[in-house]
């Protein structure tokens, strides 16, 4: 993209330089140019997104999603027409919940951005009131200082780009693993389980934002069906880094007691 503002139309989007992007039949925009792709279908596959949706719809991350929603709603409270973007939205579970909460508070525009076309296609089929876009997270398709809130849920954080697109009085809200997140699953994979760092790795030394609030959401869950255990594994990075023997051992489980542990943090531009 040339960086010029896009005019959003029913059938797609176009910039003043006549760069045009068609809207898919299911409603999403694909702004990921072929020369920006590192593979034919970058991002998580359709199978991984289906596993993610099945697990999230099981309610296991409900309290975490409630805390993230509360942080975003709190960050835009009092604004007449908020603009919020979920960068790395996947199949849209968190984004759709936030959109519904914002709509109940007043006028808001919510964007879901992911590099996975499979995820965005699934999200668009489930929630039509969000603007779903296939695009890179490292040069997100927003004009400078155009968003009230940028949200990142277990996704890579490009602090410089987030600062570029968030308003001076806006906020960056992150959901990141707490020390004990998915402890029992990690114990099945690693001989020595290291706690997750408390500060998002890409935010630890950042000077563009300052943390103004943080809530720890920690609670036990029981995943008691083999399909849901495998859905959980498939939506984590561990799925691609384990041996066949470890995968088979997890697949044989019928019950897994573990901890959901996450920090919901709010950062303001420094």
User: Could you report the per-residue pLDDT of 214-251, keeping only the tens digit for each?
Assistant: 999 999 999 999 999 999 999 998 888 899 999 999 99
User: Could you report the per-residue pLDDT of 92-143, keeping only the tens digit for each?
Assistant: 999 999 999 999 988 889 999 999 999 999 999 988 899 999 998 888 889 9
For the record, the structure tokens of 166 come out as: 């968030």
Closest CA to 155 of 189, 202, 218: 202
> What's the CA gap between 268 and 100, in Å, rounded?
24
CB 148 within 8 A of CB 76: yes
Within 8 A by CB and 6+ apart from 259, the residues are 180, 181, 182, 183, 184, 218, 219, 220, 221
Q: What does 169-188 look like in DSSP terms, one character per residue?
A: EEEEEEEEE-TTTTHHHHHH
pTM of model > 0.85: yes
CB 242 within 8 A of CB 188: no
> Can you list the domains of the chain with their CATH numbers?
27-32+42-269 (3.40.50.150)
For the record, the structure tokens of 216 come out as: 């720890």
In angstroms, the Cα distances linking 22 to 34, 96, 219 are 14, 23, 43
DSSP bridge partners of 179: none
């Amino acid at each position: 993209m040339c960086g010029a503002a896009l005019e959003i139309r029913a059938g797609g989007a176009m910039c003043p330089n006549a760069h045009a992007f068609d809207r898919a039949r299911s409603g999403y925009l694909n702004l990921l140019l072929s020369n920006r792709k590192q593979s034919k279908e970058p991002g998580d596959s359709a199978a991984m997104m289906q596993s993610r949706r099945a697990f999230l719809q099981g309610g296991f991350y409900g309290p975490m999603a409630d805390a993230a929603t509360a942080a975003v709603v709190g960050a835009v409270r009092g604004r007449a027409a908020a603009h919020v973007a979920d960068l790395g939205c996947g199949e849209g579970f968190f984004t759709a919940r936030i959109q519904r909460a914002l709509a109940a508070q007043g006028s808001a525009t919510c964007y879901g951005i992911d590099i996975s076309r499979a995820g965005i296609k699934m999200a668009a089929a489930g929630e039509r009131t969000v603007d779903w876009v296939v695009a890179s997270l490292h040069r997100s398709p927003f004009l400078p200082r155009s968003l009230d809130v940028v949200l990142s849920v277990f996704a890579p954080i490009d602090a410089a780009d987030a600062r570029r697109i968030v308003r001076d009085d806006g906020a960056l809200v992150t959901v990141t693993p707490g020390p004990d997140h998915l402890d029992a699953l990690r114990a099945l994979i690693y001989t020595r389980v290291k706690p997750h760092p408390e500060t998002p790795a890409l935010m630890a030394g950042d000077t563009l934002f300052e943390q103004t609030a943080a809530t720890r959401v920690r609670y036990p869950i029981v995943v008691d069906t083999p399909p849901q255990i495998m859905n959980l594994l498939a939506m984590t990075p561990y799925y691609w880094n384990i041996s066949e023997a470890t995968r088979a051992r997890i697949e044989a489980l019928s019950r897994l007691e573990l901890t959901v542990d996450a920090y919901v943090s709010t950062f303001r531009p420094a």
